[in-house]
Amino acid sequence: MLNRHRSSTILSGFALLLATIQLNAAPIKLDAGLIDGEVLPDSGVHVFRGIPFAAPPVGDLRWTPPQPVKKWDGIRDATQFSGACPQDGILAQMMGEKLPELTEDCLYLNVWTKAPDPESKRPVMVWIHGGGLTLGWGHQGGYDGTRLAERDVVLVSVNYRLGPLGYLAHPGLSKESELGVSGNYGFLDQHEALKWVQRNIDQFGGNPENVTIFGESAGGTSVNALVASPLSKGLFHRAIAQSAWVTETNYAYLKEARVAVKSAEELGLQWAGRVLGEGAKVDSLQALRAVSVADILEKTGDLYPVVVTVDGWFMPDLSENIYTRGEQQNIPVMAGTNTDEGTMFANFLPYKTVADYEAGTRASYGVHAEKILDLYPATDDSQLFAIKNQFITDSWFLRGTRNMLEGMDKVSSNAYQYHFSRRSQAMPFLGAHHGMEIGYVFNNFGPAPADPIDKALGEAMIQYWVQFAKTGDPNVEGLISWPTFKPDSDQHLEFGDKIVTGSNLRKSAINTLNEIQKAQLAASEGEDD
C-alpha cells in the first residue's frame, strides 16, 4: 500500500511538473528581441500579450507616423496585456468591462497560436477593434482569440491611437511632415502592425503570405480604408469588413471643405482652440504636445469629430470613389451588416416627434428631403425608433458596405456579402444590434451559456470565417453554400435563426441614398468652383 501510495504521489508530482513545463514555453525570437508568453492549460493555445510593434508615440512623437521599436536585451515578458490608448471610459461601462490603464504608450499587439512552429505556415487573422475610432482596445474580453487559434489560425489583435491623438489633422503638423500631410495616425499604426506581422509572424507559426485583416464598426472602417490605401499593398491578402462605418460625414479632405464637412485641418484648429483655451496660439505644436492626456480627454469629451482624412498619401481620395473606380487592392473580400445596426445609435438623431423628424430632415437634406421622408415615412411618434434604426442601418453601414462590394466586382477577386439577423435574446428590444455578430465569429458568448441556436450559428460562422482566411472562399463542405456577390442580384448569406441565402438587401433604398450623396457632392464641388 505504501509503495502504491508513493507511486501515485510521484506520478502526480510528475504530471504537475509537466504542466509547469508546458506553461513556460520556449522564448520567441522577434526582430526586436526575445519574448516569452503563456500556454493556456485547457486548450494548449500559446498566448503572447503586450508585444510592442512601434515606439511609444509620446513627447515629440505625438502626432507623427509610428516609429520603430527600440530593441531590448534579454527575454521580454509577454504574459500581460498592455494598457489601452487614451479614451473616454463609456465603452467599458457599456460592456461591463474594467477599463485598462490608459496610456499614450499603447502601441502593442497580442498573438494567439496553436503552436509557434515556424514551419506551420498557418493562416493569419489580424483583428482591428471598433469603437468609433475613439474607444476600445485590442484585448477586450470578446476578442479572445483562443477559439480561432484552436482552428489552426494565428490570431493577432492590435491597439491603435484613438480620438484626437490618433486622427488630428492640423496645418502645423502638415507643415512639419515631409509629405505635407497630417491625420490618419491611427490607420498608420494599423499599417505598422501589419508590417510587424510580415516580419515576425512566421515565428508564431503564421504564414506572412496569407494574412486576413478583419474588424467591426470602426474596425470595419479601418478595413475599408486599408483595402483602398495604396500604402497597404502586399501587407495582407484577404479582408473582412463587419458593419463598416462609412459615411459622407466621417471623411474629410485635408485642406478642402466638402458637402457638410469642414476640412480636416480646420476641424483640427477648432479642436486645438478648445483644448488650449481662449487666446492661445492654436498653431503652436509645442503647446499642443505639452497638453496632458488628462486635459485632452477632459476638454475633448465626445465633441471631437474623428474623420478619415483624404490626404493624398494614405488615403488619396474618398474610399467610395476609389472603389467606384476599381483602384483598391485586388483581393477576396467578405463584408456585411446586421439587421438593427441603428438601435444602439438612435439617440444620435434627437427627434422626439414626427414634426421634429420632418423638419430636421428638410433642414439636413434640402431639396432631397422628400426622397428621404418617402424612404423612411413616419406618421406616428411611436414609429420614430424604428425609423431611426432603419435610416442609420442603411446610411451609416449598409450603403458603404454595398459600395465596397460593388467596387470589388470591378476587379477580378470574389466578394461575399453577409446579413446577420439573429436577434439578441438578452436585449430583444435592440434586435440584431450593432456588434452582436462578434460573439459568434470569436465563439465567445460571455459568462451566460448560449442556447442551441446560438451555439450552432457560432459554430457555422467561425467555420466560414476561418475557411475564408485559409482560402479566400468561405464555403465549407456540409454548410449552406455562400454565393459570390454580384451587383445585379445582390446575393448574400443570412445568419439568423437559420442560415439561408437572400438577395437584393435594401437595394432600392441604398440606390436612392447613393443618388442623393452624388447630387450633394456635385453641388458642393459646384459651389467651390
Lowest mean pLDDT among 95-104, 325-334, 352-361: 95-104
pLDDT for 142? 92
Residue after which a domain boundary falls, among 331, 360, 382 = 331
* Same domain (yes/no): 278, 134: yes
Q: Does 217 participate in catalysis according to the annotation? A: yes
pLDDT for 446? 66
pLDDT for 10? 41
* Candidate list 82, 174, 217, 222, residue with the active-site label: 217
Helix ranges (DSSP H) in 381-451: 384-392, 399-408, 438-441
Nearest Cα residue to 152 out of 469, 438, 444, 440: 469
Query: Can you read off the three cell numbers belonging to residue 263?
Result: 476640412
Question: What type of residue is 115?
Answer: A
Lowest mean pLDDT among 58-72, 279-293, 313-327, 344-358: 279-293
Higher pLDDT pick, 281 / 275: 275
pLDDT for 299? 86
* Same domain (yes/no): 152, 298: yes
| Cα–Cα–Cα angle for 260, 266, 269, rounded to 5 degrees | 140
Q: Does 341 participate in catalysis according to the annotation? A: yes
The percentage of the chain sitting over the pLDDT mark of 70, rounded to a whole number, equals 91
Structural domain range at position 246: 49-61+86-110+117-331
Considering Cα of 246, then 250, then 255, then 259, what sign does the dihedral take?
A: positive
Higher pLDDT pick, 449 / 407: 407
Query: Can you read off the three cell numbers belonging to residue 211?
Result: 494574412
Considering Cα of 230, then 232, then 233, then 238, what sign does the dihedral take?
A: negative
Query: Can you read off the three cell numbers belonging to residue 382?
Result: 411611436
Higher pLDDT pick, 301 / 313: 313
* Same domain (yes/no): 388, 455: yes
* Same domain (yes/no): 435, 388: yes
The continuous run of DSSP H or E covering 45 comes out as: none
For residue 360, CA distances in Å to 10, 366, 395 come to 77, 10, 16
Cα(435)–Cα(223) distance, integer angstroms: 15
Nearest Cα residue to 52 out of 73, 90, 81, 10: 81
Instruction: Grade residue 418 by pLDDT with cuts at 50, 70 and 90.
Output: very high
Residue after which a domain boundary falls, among 315, 331, 347 = 331
Does the pLDDT at position 21 exceed 50?
no
Instruction: Grade residue 214 by pLDDT with cuts at 50, 70 and 90.
Output: very high
Please name every residue paired with 238 in a beta bridge, in sequence order, or none if there are none.
Answer: 212
Q: How many helices (H) and strands (E) does the chain have?
A: 18, 16
Render 81-115 in DSSP notation, one character per residue. ---BPS--THHHHHHT-PPPPB-S---EEEEEES-
Q: Which residue has the cell 470589388?
A: 408
Does the pLDDT at position 304 exceed 70?
no
Contact by Cβ (8 Å): 222, 171: no
Contact by Cβ (8 Å): 400, 320: yes
* Same domain (yes/no): 518, 441: yes
Whole-prediction pTM:
0.93
* Candidate list 46, 129, 139, 434, residue with the active-site label: 434
Residue after which a domain boundary falls, among 331, 366, 401 = 331
* Same domain (yes/no): 272, 154: yes
- 451: which DSSP letter? P
Cα(351)–Cα(282) distance, integer angstroms: 35
Query: Is residue 482 a part of any domain in this protein?
Result: yes
pLDDT for 62? 97
Helix ranges (DSSP H) in 229-338: 264-276, 285-290, 293-300, 319-325
How many domains does one find in the chain?
A: 2
Tens of pLDDT along 440-485? 999 988 655 578 999 999 999 999 999 999 999 999 999 999 999 9
* Same domain (yes/no): 54, 179: yes
User: 288 phi and psi, to 5 degrees?
Assistant: -65, -40
Contact by Cβ (8 Å): 396, 298: no
Q: Which CATH number characterizes residue 218's domain?
A: 3.40.50.1820
Does the pLDDT at position 19 exceed 50?
no
* Same domain (yes/no): 254, 319: yes
Question: What type of residue is 113?
Answer: T
* Same domain (yes/no): 226, 324: yes
Query: Can you read off the three cell numbers belonging to residue 372?
Result: 428621404
Averaged confidence pLDDT in the chain: 91
- Return all residues near 339 (Cβ < 8 A) that are at least 6 apart: 393, 419, 420, 421, 423, 431, 432
Higher pLDDT pick, 154 / 411: 154
pLDDT for 115? 87
Does the pLDDT at position 18 exceed 60?
no
The continuous run of DSSP H or E covering 109 comes out as: strand 108-113
pLDDT for 303? 54
* Candidate list 192, 216, 266, 341, residue with the active-site label: 341
The continuous run of DSSP H or E covering 124 comes out as: strand 122-128
For residue 21, CA distances in Å to 18, 40, 316, 416 come to 5, 12, 51, 44
What residue ranges in 314-399 does DSSP mark as E strands?
A: 333-338
Cα(163)–Cα(157) distance, integer angstroms: 19
Q: Does 182 participate in catalysis according to the annotation? A: no
* Same domain (yes/no): 318, 344: no
